[in-house]
């Protein structure tokens, strides 16, 4: 049964091919939450804290090398998994089996992360985890282009990306349940991530796909979709640099701010991360859902995307020189709200560009480089900055450079023409 986009793609309650009801959309959201939950708390809290426990101090160079290794593995494995998922789809009629293999491997990889007692073992476990995660995440992300009609891509993408700040909220819960480094924290978050992906594997209406649904949102002059795909990918890469810096180095950033006495009142880094994550979650969930819905209702994605990138740039500029605790909290919340909005709009826009493309899984794997390359670039930049100026000045410099990159993204997005 083909998707009828003329009425916004609402299903009649069935579970047939190309027909999704509300329950199916929630399964999609739960699975996305599981994927984000599997790696966001790991990068923000669990990994930096384990490095600190092993090294006996905040070892930023070691953390940077681990992030670099993980980023390289993630970049390669996501592209390979995307290509494999296209072949899997052609052979078996759905991407379900590959997602299931990735979920199982991810759960086992978390066992290695939790038991790692030295940097070498931790690095190997992290690389294994990144491969497993992307084996599941690549085909999962392709479902948006596979099944969701263009007229609903914005609101569904908004819901999916709202799971990112929810996973950040899990950092708050972890910081309170496990205030110090703990093997149990790794096992708990790994199990939770895997379990949230199981309902989709069991009940998602996988089935035959139509080649191309009619386009519901108005198009402009229609230059090459490859050109617009490249612009969207470049803009997302520039924005994700700031996201990676604030995710991977938040623990070290707050520790350096506290050590320098720049903001009175920051005493316990883990507790501060917990409260910051809670504030950011509320702002980001609202922004993600509303921006996706707005882009569908107003039939426009490009300019809201550019505005979101500009707001990200401004908030990062403030975070590079926080004058007070209150300003830091507000800037952090605005940053995550704008980032959630950007990711929702960009996800919908790219899925619309690739709808009907037989190689969409592989192309989305390439698009994922915009998420993984920053995890390579940021550690390299951090290592260079530390070498040149020490830890205290390195992180504010990285945040400032990230602000400039987000501003560049805002300036190139209006050049997209195949989607309004």
Inside any domain, residue 14: no
Range of the domain at 127: 22-415
CATH code at 114? 1.20.1250.20
Inside any domain, residue 68: yes
Inside any domain, residue 7: no
Whether 109 shows a pLDDT value over 60: the answer reads: yes
Inside any domain, residue 186: yes
Inside any domain, residue 13: no
- Separation in Å, CA 323 to CA 33, 272, 319, 331: 34, 16, 9, 11
Pair 117, 54: CB distance under 8 Å: yes
Query: Mind listing the pLDDT tens digit for each residue in 292-345?
Result: 888 888 788 889 999 999 999 999 998 887 667 778 888 888 998 999 899 999
The count of structural domains within the chain is 1
Inside any domain, residue 37: yes
**What band does 189 get if pLDDT is binned at 50, 70 and 90?**
very high
Look at residue 309 in the predicted model and tell me its pLDDT: 96
For tokens 């020490």, the residue is 390
Q: Give the span between the Cα atoms of 231 and 227, in whole angstroms.
A: 6
Inside any domain, residue 11: no
Inside any domain, residue 5: no
Q: Give the span between the Cα atoms of 385 and 399, in whole angstroms.
A: 12
Query: Mind listing the pLDDT tens digit for each residue in 252-290?
Result: 777 666 665 556 555 566 667 777 777 888 888 899 889
User: What angle, rounded to 10 degrees, do the helices at 22-41 and 150-177 form?
Assistant: 40
């Amino acid at each position: 049964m083909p998707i009828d986009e003329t009425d916004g793609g609402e299903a009649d309650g069935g579970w047939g091919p190309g027909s999704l009801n509300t329950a199916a959309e929630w399964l999609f959201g739960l699975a996305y939450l599981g994927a984000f939950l599997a790696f966001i708390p790991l990068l923000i809290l669990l990994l930096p804290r384990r490095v600190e426990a092993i090294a006996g101090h905040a070892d930023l160079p070691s953390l940077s090398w681990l992030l670099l290794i993980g980023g390289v593995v993630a970049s390669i494995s996501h592209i390979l998994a995307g290509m494999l998922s296209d072949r899997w789809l052609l052979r078996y009629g759905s991407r379900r089996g590959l997602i299931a293999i990735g979920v199982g491997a991810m759960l086992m990889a978390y066992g290695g992360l939790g038991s790692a007692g030295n940097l070498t073992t931790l690095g190997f476990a992290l690389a294994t985890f990144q491969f497993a995660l992307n084996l599941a995440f690549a085909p999962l992300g392709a479902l948006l282009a596979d099944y969701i009609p263009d007229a609903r891509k914005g609101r569904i993408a908004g819901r999916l990306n709202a799971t990112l700040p929810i996973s950040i909220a899990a950092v708050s819960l972890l910081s309170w349940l496990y205030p110090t480094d703990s093997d149990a924290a790794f096992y708990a978050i790994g199990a939770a991530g895997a379990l949230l992906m199981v309902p989709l594997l069991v009940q998602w209406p996988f089935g035959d796909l139509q080649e191309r649904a009619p386009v519901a949102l108005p198009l402009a002059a229609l230059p090459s979709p490859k050109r617009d795909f490249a612009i969207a990918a470049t803009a997302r890469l520039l924005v994700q640099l700031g996201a990676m810096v604030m995710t991977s180095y938040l623990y070290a950033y707050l520790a350096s701010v506290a050590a320098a006495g720049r903001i009175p009142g920051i005493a316990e880094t883990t507790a501060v991360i917990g409260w910051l994550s809670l504030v950011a979650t509320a702002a980001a969930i609202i922004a993600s859902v509303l921006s996706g819905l707005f882009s569908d209702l107003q039939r426009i994605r490009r300019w809201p995307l550019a505005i979101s990138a500009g707001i990200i740039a401004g908030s990062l500029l403030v975070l590079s020189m926080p004058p007070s605790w209150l300003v830091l909290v507000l800037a952090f919340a605005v940053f995550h709200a704008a980032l959630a909005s950007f990711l929702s709009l960009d996800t919908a826009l790219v899925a619309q560009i690739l709808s009907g493309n037989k190689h969409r899984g592989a192309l989305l794997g390439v698009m994922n480089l915009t998420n993984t390359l920053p995890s390579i670039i940021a550690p390299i930049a951090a290592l260079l900055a530390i070498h040149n100026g020490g830890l205290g000045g390195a992180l504010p410099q990285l945040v400032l450079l990230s602000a400039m990159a987000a501003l560049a993204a805002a300036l190139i997005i209006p050049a997209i023409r195949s989607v309004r």
